[in-house]
Structure formats: C-alpha cells, structure tokens
Amino acid sequence: RLTETLVAVCQDRVELAREQEEDEEVLESLENVLLRLKYELQRDQATPALRLLDDVMRVLAENERVGRHGAASVEPAALNYVRSELARAFGSADVLTSSGHDYETDALTYAVTLGYGGGATNGAAHDAADSFLLTREEFVAECETLLRDVGMRDLEAHREAEELEELSPYSSRASSGSRISDADWAERKAAVDRVRLVMDLARSL
C-alpha cells in the first residue's frame, strides 16, 4: 500500500537529482513519478465523496470541448455517463439504508461479495463499503466545502500576486509570476466549473 514514507523517499530522490543537475529527461521522469505518487496517496486518503468526484471530473475533463467563443462544453455521452455513475453510487446507499438492518454491516458484506479485498478484514473491502453508503446529500455537502476551501486559497493567492506586482511591476520576477498565475487561474476556474456541474447533476437526480 502506498505510504507517505514512499512519497518522501521519492521527493528526496527528485531533490538530489536537482542538486546534482542530472539529465533533464531523467529529472522530468522522476518529477512525473513523484506527482503520480502524491496524487495516488491523496486519493487513498480522500473520502468516498471526493474519490467519486475525482472519477467523474476526469471523465468531464477528457470529454470537454472549447467552442469558437471560448466557452467549454461537455459531450452529451459523457454527461449521461456521469449522471449514471452518480445515480449508481447514491442508489447503493438508498438500498442499504432502507433495509432496516445494520446497514454498515450489510455494506461490508456487499463489498466482500463483489470481490473487494477478498475478506471483511481487508482495507479495500472497508473502503468499498464506505463508498456504498455515500448519499447524495453528503456528496453535495463535501463538494460545497471543497469549493469554499478552494475559494479561500484562491483569494490568498490573488493577494500574494498583487503584493508581488506592487513590489516592482516591471521586474522579471513579477512578470513571470503574472504569466504563470494567469494560466493557473484559468485551469482552476475550469476545474471549479466542473465541480459545480457535477453538483448540479447530483442535485437533479
């Protein structure tokens, strides 16, 4: 199982490669591995709601098209797929919680039956069981919390960019920071728009 220790070891290797000025292709490969490990670790540690959000966000991003006026739209087939995935996820919780039994135990039994982890003591089975108990309300609430957190971080980043610009609007450091910042804002806005789209789809079910 992926651990923070493994990610730290990879981080040390990347820093060593930078210090020793190793070949650019080698460094780029190491950095890509590090980014992938960080992503997988974050996903492992995320809640069922955020893992589901990550899954459907990737589908939306891969099927997004930009029109002539710069407006982004998603292929109808992708929207239908996301809608069905959300309905399937929330439907499991509806069935289990309406059974009148110990639905947490029922969910774990369901996960084992489907082959997650191979046994009730396995972590994968418990993770799957948690996902089966995800409700639409919980999903939307976590998405709203995520958007609030992102908004606060973006506000702080905007303030830092403005302070940097005030230091010297003509400096190369300020100009470089502004260019990177503009690209980052556009990417983050697109991601926020996708989250809002997923929330609208969830609410419509």
Q: Is 5 exposed, middle or buried (0-12, 13-18, 19+ CB in 10 A)?
A: exposed
Whole-number Å distance between alpha carbons of 143 and 48? 12
Q: Do residues 125 and 108 touch, judged by C-beta distance below 8 A?
A: yes
In the chain, the N- to C-terminal Cα span, in Å, equals: 35
pLDDT score, position 198: 93
Pairing of strands 72-74, 64-66: antiparallel
Q: What is the model's pLDDT at position 199?
A: 93
What residue ranges in 48-121 does DSSP mark as E strands? 64-66, 72-74
pLDDT digits (tens, 9 = 90+) for 134-184: 788 989 999 999 999 888 887 777 777 666 666 655 554 444 444 445 667
The pLDDT mean for the chain works out to: 75
Give me the pLDDT at residue 59, please: 92
DSSP 74: E
Q: What pTM value is reported for the model?
A: 0.67
Residue stretches of the chain with pLDDT short of 70: 1, 67-71, 92-133, 161-183
